[in-house]
Amino acid sequence: MGKFDGKVIIVTGSSSGIGRGTALLLAQQGATLTITGRNTEKLEETKKQLLSAGSTEDKILVVVGDVTKEEDTKRLIAETVNKFGKLDVLVNNAGGATPCDISQPLTVFDDIINQNLRSVLALCQEAIPHLKKTKGNIVNVSSIAGIRAMYTLAYYSIAKAGLDQLNRILAIQLAPDGIRVNNVNPGAIRTDAMPAEAWDGVEESWIKPNTPIARVGQPVEMAHVISFLANNEESSYITGQSIVADGGFSINSPVPPMGPKT
C-alpha cells in the first residue's frame, strides 16, 4: 500500500529536475500522475522512469504545454480531471532562475514573473474548484531566493518572494474549504537547470564555504518534502508555510572566523 494510492496529482515541470524526481517518488508511493512540461522527449523519459519504478500506463497522463499560456493551464487541469475523474494535489514546480539585475527591461521582468508566479496563480484558479471537492492541497516550489534578496537573480527573487506571499494568501482563503497550501523553498539542487560542470563549480566555490551541510542537494531530497506536504495525514496541521530545504545555507551569516575576546 502506498500513501498516495487512489490520489490524483499534477506535477508541473516534471520533464526534468525536481519535478521529475518528485513525480518518481510520488509514483513509487502509489500516486496517479499527470506529468507536464514543454519538452515532449524529456516528458517521455520521465514516463519511462515512472513505468520502471512500478507505475502503469493507466496511472500516467502526459500533457505537453506551457504554464505561461492560459489555454495550456486550462487544458492541463481539464485533461487531468477528464481522464482521472478528480484532482487531489497540484504541485506547482515549473519555473526557472534567469540571471539578471534590475537594469534589465520590463519585458524580461514580465517573462520571469509569468513563468514563476503568474502561472502558479493561473493554475491554482483552475484547480481550486476540483480541490474543493477532494479537500485536496497545493504545494508550490519556491526558492531561498524568495526569502533572501539575490540581486543577480533580481526578477526571479522578486517572483519567488511573491510566490511565498501567494502561498500565505491562498492558505488563509482556502482553509475553510479544507484545502491546505504550502511552499518548499529549495537551496541549490543539482538539476538540469545548469550543466554538471557548472554545478561542480558552484558547489566548490559557493555552496561548500557557505552551507552547514556542505554540498548541493539532490532532487529526491526536495521530493520527500513535497511528498510530506502533499499528504493530508502527515502534514494535516500545516498550511501557509514556506519550508526551507537548503542544507542550512540561508541561516548562515558572514562572520569573522572568531568572535571578539570577552
Question: How far apart are alpha carbons 73 and 66 in whole angstroms?
Answer: 7
Dihedral Cα 53, 58, 60, 63, nearest 10 deg? 160
Q: Report if residue 162 touches ligand NDP, rule: CB under 6 A.
A: no
199: amino acid identity, one letter: W
Nearer to ligand NDP, 53 or 175 (CB): 53
User: Could you tell me which stretch among 23-31, 100-108, 191-199, 250-258 binds ligand NDP (CB under 6 A)?
Assistant: 191-199
CB within 8 A of 182, min separation 6: which ones?
137, 138, 139, 140, 167, 171, 229, 235, 238, 239, 240, 241, 242, 243
Q: Report if residue 189 touches ligand NDP, rule: CB under 6 A.
A: yes
Question: How far apart are alpha carbons 82 and 79 in whole angstroms?
Answer: 5
Binding to ligand NDP (CB under 6 A) within 218-237 occurs at none
Binding to ligand NDP (CB under 6 A) within 57-76 occurs at 66-68
Question: How far apart are alpha carbons 57 and 70 in whole angstroms?
Answer: 27
Q: Report if residue 245 touches ligand NDP, rule: CB under 6 A.
A: no
Question: How far apart are alpha carbons 226 and 262 in whole angstroms?
Answer: 45
Which position among 4, 19, 80, 91 is part of the footprint of ligand NDP (CB under 6 A)? Answer: 19
CB within 8 A of 192, min separation 6: which ones?
16, 17
Q: Mask: binding to ligand NDP, 107-136, rule CB under 6 A, as x and -? A: --------x---------------------
Residue 217 Cβ vs ligand NDP, minimum distance, rounded to whole Å: 7
Nearer to ligand NDP, 187 or 232 (CB): 187
List, by residue number, the catalytic residues. Answer: 156
Task: Enumerate binding residues for ligand NDP (CB under 6 A).
Answer: 13, 15-19, 37-39, 42, 66-68, 93-97, 115, 141, 143, 186, 188-189, 191-193
